A and B are shown apart, each in its own frame.
Chain A
Amino acid sequence: MTAPVVARERRAVDFTGTRTATPWIEGEPTLREISDDVIRPLVTRPGFGWWSCFAVALCALLIGVSAVAYEIATGIGVWGLNRTVGWAFDITNFVFWIGIGHAGTLISAILLLLRQQWRTAISRSAEAMTIFAVMCAAMFPLIHMGRPWLAFWVIPYPNSRGPLWVNFRSPLLWDVFAINTYLTISLVFWYLGMIPDFATLRDRTEAGIRRAVYSVLSLGWNGSARTWSRYETTTTLLAGLATPLVISVHSIVSMDFATSVLPGWHTTLFPPYFVAGAVFSGFGMVLLLLIIVRTVMHLERYITIAHLEAMSKIMLLTGSIVGFAYATEFFNAWYSHNVYERYTFVNRVSGPYAWCFWTMAGCNALAPQLLWMRRVRRSVPALFILSILVNVGMWFERFVIIVTSLHRSFLPSSWTMYRPTIIEVGTLVGSFGLFFTCFLLFIRVLPMIAMWEVKAVARHASGAHV
């Protein structure tokens, strides 16, 4: 078991370049200390910080539940939509949450393949975030239907109607498959990653229900070299499987718009643009979560400034890509010489929803440019604010794309305005509630840092796993 670790050591040098000393853990915790630190939240009573966060999240969730219940009982009419603007908050939130999910997969799959060691401390929580985000996202296509109780009709199953199948030409159907695949793979990946830690937990807890549960979850893991090598192979394979998903899911989501005829939607630029945007917002959210968690749960030692800096570099890159995409859209509109295209983009910057556009541009394209400065990249408060800005900006990006394109399309006779209702806002709040409730529960009941991986990059790493 020593060999791979040593090998990783060497690569680490190659990748991080500067120092042989890997900066990914501060201080020199022994392996036991690492386990203690990570497992502490699971065994001790939660502190005031956690409780207050949880209370807030739960309230938000309840607001969301009641909003959705009311909407399903009464009809989509309780939202602000109309004959011209058929989608607004609902699909905006959907795309937003799907985007958030991306960082998790990226970190756990792509960075694993690239053998990026700094991912070790954050991968677990990033993957958890992915799953919760996709859960939130998946909720919206369901509740935005006029007759959600018939949602199962989008699944191709043998039926007594002829049989009558689904429309495989419809991007919405592609979404169904894409999202389900994504969710499944992410879940498997997440669970697989936790097996060794479950074993650790099992070994540390004395007989009882907890132990029983852990032993079932750890699938009889015994940490033998054979298990490990198989384990390594599996994860690598899965990573290979998951990698294309990072690209595919959001490309397909973007096709909901790209394949339409609507000016502002109908563009081939969308798939790459959406993927970049997704990773961008994803890292924004990871950063936000980790900054909160490391302070609330006192894990500064494992989630170091170096981690944050690494992530902010990715944000800088993807943010710039997004900014470039905006510019390209406008160039295309001007260059196409198409009266409808042109109007749509003029309307974006100067129309009644211009403020949304400028919020989006400011938060997504301009703000991240600050990250060129090392000082900003290493300042926790700056990153905290930036990560919030990025999330706000990315939400508005989807809103701008959807609403400004719809509300003034081809025939001026049907131009309208869209105003969200309290119910829609409630639903958005609720989705955040759901997300944070899940996440807060997660950090209490599951090891939020992959112990075995962290140990692997610990200074005096040895093959032994406690």
Chain B
Amino acid sequence: MTRWKLVIAIAAITSVVGAGVVARELSRVGVHQWYSPVQPIAFSHKLHAGDSRIPCLYCHFGARTSRHAGIPPANVCMNCHGILQKQSAEIEKLKELVAIARPIAWTKVHNLPDFVYFNHSQHVIAGVACQACHGHVERMERIEQEAPLTMGWCIQCHRAHSGGANAPAASLDCGKCHY
């Protein structure tokens, strides 16, 4: 009889654990946290944003005015690299591409689905730090998606800043991001 009890107990436990694992895996579908593709040019944010302390908005100027933060046009890179003496294989790649007037095809890291409307400028104006969503970029050699970018992740921040003392209020309306 105890043998039966044991069997049943084991069965129960395994099924519960199994269900848990499956549920967890399914909830990760389409979540690309820690995504960090190899880029055509091994651009180091650590070097530029960290060590050299170049402000994010210097290159990603779109973030101030536009929905897209934008990837800097090559001529922005050349603002400095036109003058700087320092050379490296990667900088050579850049200069070659500029020479033959071909834009660089970067691989997009932070992707939001089509049905989400996200506007960088809105958040920059509200004083949200870039790191709040993009993580410690200034410490990354290669860019990596630090946040899960799930709706729950967006909402927890919006909840924290919805109304109250810390204006401007973040909205919790569905229609704020989905239309």
Contact = CB atoms under 8 A, between A and B. Distances in A.
B27 interface: yes
A161 to B, nearest CB: 4
Interface in A142-179: 157, 159-164
A162 B155 contact: yes
A14 B127 CA distance: 83
B164 interface: no
Interface stretch (B8-16, B40-48, B70-78, B146-154): B146-154
B128 interface: no
Interface in B143-169: 148, 150-153, 155-156
A389 to B, nearest CB: 48
Main secondary structure of the interface of B (DSSP, over half): helix
Contacts, number: 20
Interface residues of A, number: 7
Contacts of A164: 151
Interface of A: 157, 159-164
Contacts of A163: 152
B112 interface: no
15 contacts: A159-B27, A159-B152, A160-B27, A160-B31, A160-B148, A160-B151, A160-B153, A161-B151, A161-B152, A161-B155, A162-B151, A162-B152, A162-B155, A162-B156, A164-B151
A40 B27 CA distance: 51
A130 B103 CA distance: 67
Interface string B5-41: 0000000000000000001000100010000000000
Contacts of A161: 150-152, 155
Contacts of A162: 151-152, 155-156
Nearest to B174: A164
Nearest to A157: B23
A179 B128 CA distance: 47
Interface string B101-116: 0000000000000000
Nearest to B154: A162
Nearest to A161: B151
A163 B156 CA distance: 10
Interface string B39-71: 000000000000000000000000000000000
Contacts of B155: 161-162
A165 to B, nearest CB: 12
Contacts of B27: 159-160
A380 to B, nearest CB: 50
Contacts of A157: 23
A160 B153 CA distance: 8
Contacts of B153: 160
Nearest to B28: A160
A96 B150 CA distance: 41
Contacts of A159: 27, 152
Nearest to B156: A162
Nearest to A159: B27
Given A157-B23, A161-B150, 4 more contacts: A160-B150, A160-B152, A161-B152, A162-B156
Contacts of A160: 27, 31, 148, 150-153
A159 B155 CA distance: 13
Which of A157, A160, A163 has most chain B Cβ within 10 Å?
A160
Contacts of B150: 160-161
B5 to A, nearest CB: 15
Residue of B31, B150, B152 with most chain A CB atoms under a 10 A cut-off? B152
B147 to A, nearest CB: 12
A160 to B, nearest CB: 4
